[in-house]
C-alpha cells in the first residue's frame, strides 16, 4: 500500500511571495503518477499539476512547478508570485498505474496543507 | 468547471435511511471513481468502475455499493446510514476514450448530512 505524507498542516505567506509545499510518499511501485490538487473554500477539487514518475523533467504549469525527487520519494510544489486566489487546501496525491487496462487505481491522498495568502 | 456533474449537491437524511448519489463523467471518459472526504478520515478512495465493470475497491463499507450504467453515469448507494457517514462524497472521471489520459477530474461533490 502507498502512503502520502504532507508535513505542513498550515502555511501563511504574503501576496507575491514564493511558497513551497512539501510532500513525501512511500511505495514499492515503479510506474505511477503524482498530483497536486487544490481545494478552495468552495470545496471543489481542482487539478493543479501532474508528474509522471518515468519523466525526469519536473512539470510546470504557469506559476506552479514541482520538484520531483524519485529516489528520495519527494514531490514538492512551488507556487511563484502567490495570489490571494491561491488560498486553499492543497493535497498531494499518488496514483498507481494499472496494467490490467481500463484506468489506474484510486488516488491516495495526503492530509493536506492549508495555504493562506495574506494581502 | 471539470465537466463532471454530481447530484444532488446537498442531502440531509436520518440514521438508518438509504440514499443514492449520482455522477455523470466528462464526455468521453470511461472510468468513474468515488471518494469520501470527512474530517476524521480525510480523502479516501471508495470504488472505481471502468466501462460498466468494477475495477478497484478501496475503503468502501459493505453498506455502500455502486454501479456504472451503459451510458457511463454512476450511482453510489449508501444504506443503513450512520452519523459517521456524514461527509462530502466526490466522483471523479478519467480515461479519455480518445487520448487514454488517466488524470482524474473531480465533480463538485455531494454534501451528505446524517441526523
C-alpha torsion A75→B103→A43→B33, nearest 10: -120
* pLDDT at residue A1, as a whole number: 82
* pLDDT at residue B97, as a whole number: 56
Quickly count: other Cβ atoms within 10 Å of residue B57's Cβ.
13
Residue of A nearest to B50 (CA): A102
What is the average pLDDT value for chain A, to the nearest integer?
A: 93
* pLDDT at residue B99, as a whole number: 62
* pLDDT at residue A116, as a whole number: 98
* pLDDT at residue A7, as a whole number: 96
Check: CB of residue A101 under 8 Å from CB of residue B55: no
Where would I find the H helices in chain B? none
Binning pLDDT at 50, 70 and 90, where does residue A102 land?
Answer: low
A contacts of B96 (beta carbons < 8 Å): none
C-alpha torsion B8→B63→B51→B53, nearest 10: -170
A108 touching B, CB under 8 A? yes
The C-alpha of B42 sits at a distance from chain A's nearest C-alpha, in angstroms, of: 6
Check: CB of residue B114 under 8 Å from CB of residue B81: yes
Minimum mean pLDDT range among A29-43, A83-97, A99-113, B10-24: A99-113
Q: Three-state SS for B94?
A: strand
B contacts of A45 (beta carbons < 8 Å): 90, 92, 106, 109
Q: Tell how strand B53-57 and strand B74-78 pair up.
A: unpaired
C-alpha distance from residue A16 to each of A3, A80, A84, A86 (Å): 32, 7, 9, 11
Q: Among A47, A106, A112, select the one facing B103 at the smallest CB separation.
A: A47
Q: Output the 3-class SS for B91-114.
A: EEEEEECCCCCCCCEECCCEEEEE
CB contact under 8 A, A103 and B50: yes
B64 forms bridges with which residues in the sheet?
B78
B88 touching A, CB under 8 A? yes
**d(C-alpha A27, C-alpha A95), whole Å:** 10
The beta strand positions in chain A, using DSSP E, are 3-5, 10-14, 19-21, 24-26, 32-39, 46-52, 60-61, 64-69, 74-79, 88-96, 108-109, 113-118
Q: What are A39-79's pLDDT values in tens digits?
A: 999 999 999 999 999 888 999 999 999 999 999 999 999 99
Length of chain B: 115
C-alpha cell at position B111: 454534501
Per-residue pLDDT 10s for chain B (115 aa) are 889 999 999 999 999 999 999 999 999 898 999 999 998 889 999 999 999 999 889 989 999 999 999 999 999 999 999 999 999 999 999 876 556 678 899 999 999 999 9
C-alpha cell at position B25: 463523467
Check: CB of residue B82 under 8 Å from CB of residue A73: no
**Structure-model confidence comparison of residues A102 and A109, the more confident one:** A109
Amino acid at each position: 500500500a502507498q502512503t502520502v505524507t504532507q508535513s505542513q498542516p498550515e502555511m501563511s505567506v504574503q501576496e507575491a511571495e514564493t511558497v513551497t509545499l512539501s510532500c513525501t510518499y512511500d511505495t514499492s511501485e515503479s510506474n505511477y503518477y503524482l498530483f497536486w490538487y487544490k481545494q478552495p473554500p468552495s470545496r471543489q477539487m481542482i487539478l493543479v499539476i501532474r508528474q509522471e514518475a518515468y519523466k525526469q523533467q519536473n512539470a510546470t504549469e504557469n506559476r506552479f512547478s514541482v520538484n520531483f525527487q524519485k529516489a528520495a520519494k519527494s514531490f514538492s510544489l512551488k507556487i511563484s508570485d502567490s495570489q490571494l486566489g491561491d488560498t486553499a487546501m492543497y493535497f498531494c496525491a499518488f496514483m498507481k498505474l494499472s496494467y490490467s487496462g481500463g484506468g489506474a487505481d484510486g488516488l491516495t491522498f495526503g492530509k493536506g496543507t492549508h495555504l493562506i495568502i495574506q494581502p | 468547471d471539470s465537466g463532471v456533474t454530481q447530484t444532488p449537491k446537498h442531502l440531509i437524511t436520518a440514521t438508518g435511511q438509504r440514499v443514492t448519489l449520482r455522477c455523470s463523467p466528462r464526455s468521453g471518459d470511461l472510468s468513474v471513481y468515488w471518494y469520501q472526504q470527512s474530517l476524521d478520515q480525510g480523502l479516501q478512495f471508495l470504488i472505481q468502475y471502468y466501462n460498466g465493470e468494477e475495477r478497484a475497491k478501496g475503503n468502501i463499507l459493505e453498506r455502500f455499493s455502486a454501479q456504472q450504467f451503459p451510458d457511463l453515469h454512476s450511482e453510489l448507494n449508501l444504506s443503513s446510514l450512520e452519523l459517521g457517514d456524514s461527509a462530502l462524497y466526490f466522483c471523479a472521471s478519467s480515461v479519455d476514450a480518445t487520448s487514454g489520459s488517466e488524470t482524474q477530474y473531480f465533480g463538485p461533490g455531494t454534501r451528505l448530512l446524517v441526523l
